[in-house]
């Protein structure tokens, strides 16, 4: 059975649809006869850019708060690199907050 990963990425709400589409177009969110499947949680991202940062939002030295969406998708092992590269190509942040977890096949438990 193919390894399956969970990719979770935080993105400003203004760019969430673009990131979701890029990941889906690259093969994320394939569930049976469906594609582009994802789950989204809305929240507030906070960050303090230092003097060497080139932030997309805000300015260095000021604490920023941004309405963000956390997008979660399932990705097969053969697509994970393509999906991450697609996400990075359209994500506006200089430093992208994302996580990748290998999933356990519950049928083997």
Per-residue pLDDT of the chain in tens (109 residues, 90 and over written 9): 689 999 999 999 999 999 999 999 999 999 999 999 999 999 999 999 999 999 988 899 999 999 999 999 999 999 999 999 999 999 999 999 999 999 997 777 6
What CATH number has the domain bearing residue 82?
3.30.70.120
pLDDT value of position 32: 93
The per-residue pLDDT for 105 is 78
Domain that holds residue 83: 4-108
- Can you give the pTM of this predicted structure? 0.91
Please give the pLDDT value at position 14.
97
* DSSP result, the chain: ---EEEEEEEEEGGGHHHHHHHHHHTTTT-BTTB-S--EEEEEEEEE---TT---SSS-TTS-EEEEEEEEEEEEETTTHHHHHHHHHHH---SS--EEEEEPP-GGG-
> What's the number of domains the chain is made of?
1
């Amino acid at each position: 059975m193919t390894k399956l990963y969970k990719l979770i990425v935080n993105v400003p709400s203004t760019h969430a649809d673009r990131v979701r589409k890029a990941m889906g177009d690259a093969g994320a969110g394939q569930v049976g006869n469906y594609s582009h499947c994802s789950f989204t949680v809305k929240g507030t991202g906070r960050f303090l850019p230092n003097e060497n940062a080139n932030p997309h939002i805000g300015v260095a030295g000021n604490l920023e708060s941004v309405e963000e969406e956390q997008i979660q998708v399932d990705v097969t092992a053969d697509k994970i690199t393509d999906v991450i590269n697609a996400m990075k190509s359209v994500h506006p942040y200089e430093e992208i907050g994302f996580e990748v977890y290998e999933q356990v096949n519950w049928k083997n438990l």
